[in-house]
Chains A and B, each alone.
Chain A
């Protein structure tokens, strides 16, 4: 069964720092990997989707990379802002018909 792990579980940084969130998965036979943002008590917002044939995707200050062979993805956030404070979830499409999610990284950016 696909296992998705996110490190660290929680992270606190001062505003303006660049930061990296990590995601690892046990089965490299994936179709794609997605990064989501979740604000407290809210639904999920899709940030980036990387197809298995791609190495990275960028959107604004966000950059996600994928190394399928090693089972790893990173989400890079440049010049962090207090509005970036949220939980970030990594999920992979594997052999099943739905996403397998990690437990998330809770990010706090302090002014």
Chain B
């Protein structure tokens, strides 16, 4: 089955730790995105990538970092600089960075800071 996988489903982090969220897609999509969702809020864009080895900051990139070394993979690192990282994180992809394309979403990772 083609789709987007995210792991782990649940992640717990201690104060001061960096953690990395995995996102993999086998849809052969060029564009990938990371969103953050807080309770009762809409999704907010953290980073996006148009192609391998290229990525751009979204609206709330502070305290986060990404890499795009392979087309299929777009991992997100939540650093200790992120002041309030507890949230639901969603990865998405589309065929290209084209405003006409549907975005496909993964199942999400719920991060909790202890």
A43 adjacent to B90 (CB under 8 Å): yes
B104 adjacent to A46 (CB under 8 Å): yes
State which of A31, A101, A102 has its C-beta within 8 Å of the C-beta of B100.
Answer: A31
Q: For residue A4, which residues in chain B have a CB less than 8 angstroms away from its CB?
A: 42
Interface size class of B (residues with CB under 8 A): 20 to 34
Q: For residue B106, which residues in chain A have a CB less than 8 angstroms away from its CB?
A: 43
Q: CA A99 – CA B108 in complex, angstroms?
A: 17
Q: For residue A89, which residues in chain B have a CB less than 8 angstroms away from its CB?
A: 42-43
State which of A34, A41, A51, A93 has its C-beta within 8 Å of the C-beta of B108.
Answer: A41
**Interface residues on chain A, number (Cβ under 8 Å):** 24
B41 adjacent to A51 (CB under 8 Å): no
B103 adjacent to A42 (CB under 8 Å): no
B33 adjacent to A98 (CB under 8 Å): yes
Q: CA A36 – CA B43 in complex, angstroms?
A: 12
A101 adjacent to B43 (CB under 8 Å): yes
Indicate whether A102 sits within 8 Å of B42 (C-beta atoms), given known contacts A31-B99, A32-B100, A43-B90. Answer: yes
Q: CA A83 – CA B56 in complex, angstroms?
A: 38
In the complex, residue of chain B having the shortest beta-carbon distance to the beta carbon of A93: B99
Q: CA A49 – CA B90 in complex, angstroms?
A: 19
Q: CA A34 – CA B50 in complex, angstroms?
A: 20
Q: For residue B107, which residues in chain A have a CB less than 8 angstroms away from its CB?
A: 42-43
Q: For residue B97, which residues in chain A have a CB less than 8 angstroms away from its CB?
A: 97
Given contacts A43-B106, A46-B103, 10 further A-B contacts (CB under 8 A): A4-B42, A31-B100, A41-B110, A42-B108, A44-B43, A46-B105, A101-B43, A102-B42, A103-B42, A104-B42
- A-B contacts, 19 of them at CB < 8 A, read A4-B42, A31-B99, A31-B100, A36-B105, A42-B108, A43-B4, A43-B6, A43-B108, A44-B92, A44-B105, A46-B103, A49-B102, A51-B100, A91-B42, A97-B48, A97-B56, A97-B97, A98-B45, A101-B43
